[in-house]
Amino acid sequence: GKGNYRHFMEKELHEHPAVLGDTLRQYLDPKTLEVRLPRLPFDPARIGRLTISACGSAFLAGMVGRYWIEQLARLPVDADVASEFRYRNPPLADGGAAILISQSGETADNMAALRLLREAGQRVLSVVNVPESSMARESDGALLTVAGPEIGVASTKAFTAQLAVLACLAIGFGRARRELSTLDEGRLAQTLLEVPSHAAAILEQDAQIRELAMEVAKARDVLFLGRGAMYPIALEGALKLKEISYIHAEGYAAGEMKHGPIALIDSDVPVIALCPSGPLFEKTASNLQEAAARGGRVMAFTDAEGEAALRRFAERVIVLPRIGEFATPILYAIPVQLLAYHVAVLKGTDVDQPRNLAKSVTVE
């Protein structure tokens, strides 16, 4: 049941800390700070390229995974939504490898991609939440997200659990390919292990996020901006908002705004910025300042180190716990999902069963 929560989505949002802890403990030894992966269907040290494919939020997790794997393991990654993947007729070298990501493990587009990949001689690893699902069974190997059943149609805890698994995979690949030292691995593992308690702290900022939601609920259009691995989280924020509140939202790479979407900016469009301190902060902040200079209402998520710079022009700044850059996509996914939830509640939509959507999409 829903316990004391109004919706399954709210309950599932509050499961983030526990689910992240459970999923990380599955693949990370907190004592030795080592990633422990089960036997994989391919050797990450021997592949020249990796394909990632999935749908919806799971695909956005895959986009973050691409960023991490390319950074930490120096392995080229191709990421494509499953419904488009096969129409590209992608050239796949024999002996190649792929990762498919899915909560349900029953998404028809993924199953079609899975069959194509296997016919093309690829070894397929699934990251999946349902162990007995078709995808888990038909893949060459499966890594489980330990999210438990997800009832709300909009994916929440399954998404961050997917990120946790992909983060561990990226570290494991980095080590296997000799791109990461034991020291690097320990530092990254330590950062990941800080995620669950910071996730709990973010859930306690609920009232602040609800206040932001009251502004967002009045808007007709909303822009979400982020750079680097925060760009897919901007897309996730926009997807969640569209899905459950029916407000039109777009996610953009912050630096791409000047190439078009900045034309949309006026005083009616909230610009939700995902802007943690770190190597991408300055450039992102200057993109946001451009939006503010054109009358845009910048509402930023950052940490204590980014706060002062953003306060100079942002209408609202929500200060999140500070964490190593590597883990920021996992952490920042939580407030954007929570924001969408509160906006939907304020709008009175059917949060757990949004119109036209199904939890498991079994048609292509």
Contact residues toward ligand F6R (CB under 6 A) are: 55-58, 102-104, 107, 110, 154-155, 239-240, 243, 360-361
Amino acid at 105: G
Q: How far is Cα 167 from Cα 162, in angstroms, rounded to an integer?
A: 9
- β-strand 50-54 against 97-102: which pairing, if any? parallel
Q: Which is nearer to ligand F6R, 9 or 274 (CB)?
A: 9
- Find the shortest distance in angstroms from Cβ 310 to ligand F6R: 28
Identify which of residues 239 and 274 has a Cβ nearer to ligand F6R in the complex. Answer: 239
> CB of 101: closest distance to ligand F6R in angstroms?
7
Q: How far is residue 50's CA from residue 215's CA, in Å, rounded to a whole number?
A: 41
The verdict on whether 258 is a catalytic residue reads: no
User: Do the beta carbons of residue 331 and residue 230 sit within 8 Å?
Assistant: no
Nearest to 257 by CA among 288, 230, 228, 281: 288
d(CA 34, CA 37): 10
Side-by-side strand order, sheet with 50-54: 77-81, 50-54, 97-102, 123-128, 141-144
Taking the C-alpha atoms of residue 256 and residue 262, their distance in angstroms, rounded to an integer, is 9
Q: Which is nearer to ligand F6R, 127 or 285 (CB)?
A: 127
| Residue (56 or 251) nearer to ligand F6R, CB | 56
Q: Are 151 and 103 in contact (CB under 8 A)?
A: no
In the complex, the smallest distance separating the C-beta of residue 90 from ligand F6R, rounded to whole angstroms, is 20
Kindly state the tokens that stand for 109. 């587009």
CA angle 38, 179, 72 (to 5 degrees): 75
The H-or-E segment that residue 288 falls in is: helix 281-293
Give the whole-angstrom CA distance, residue 234 versus residue 223: 8
CB of 354 to ligand F6R, least distance (A): 9
Element (H, E) at 42: none
Give dist(CA 113, CA 198) in Å, integer: 36
* Residue 123: CB atoms within 10 Å: 18
Smallest gap from Cβ 304 to ligand F6R, in A, equals 30
Q: Compute the least distance from the CB of residue 159 to ligand F6R, in Å.
A: 7
Q: Name the residues annotated as catalytic.
A: 359
